[in-house]
Amino acid sequence: MSSRGGILMKFKHLMTIKAVICLFFGVLLVVLPEELLSILGITVGVGGIFMARLYGASLIGNLMLTWFGRNAEESATKRAIILDLFAYDAVGLVVAFIAQIGGLMNPLGWFIVFIYFFLTIGFGYFLMAKRSPA
């Protein structure tokens, strides 16, 4: 999403947006999983709380990757980061969409689906973008 073609988002901006999302949801899921999930209309037992906290830990790992990788130069490593984040968000999109249409979450769940959709499209764009000649 470069300035070519009228789209103004840069890789650094997408990575920063994802880092902020991961910070917000990651910390809340580790510290207050029941409270966050209840806002979405989800009730969980002790096993669900454990899994939510593990997912929060994963988001904090994504936070580190996106924050410290946001200035990555064009390289095989940057392509691997983009592929990883695209796959992560695409799977998250499918899982969140199925949960939403299955009635697991209240209407606020569409916000989660939208976040995953936005990130999947963003990283998909950078995954498909042609690399600059070296």
- State pLDDT tens for residues 82-121: 999 999 999 999 999 999 999 999 999 999 999 999 999 9
This prediction's pTM: 0.89
Q: Cite the DSSP H helix spans in 1-134.
A: 11-31, 33-39, 46-69, 76-101, 109-128
pLDDT tens-place string over residues 10-39: 999 999 999 999 999 999 999 999 999 999
Torsion sign over Cα 101, 102, 105, 107: positive
CB 85 within 8 A of CB 125: no
CA 72 to centroid of chain Cα atoms:
18
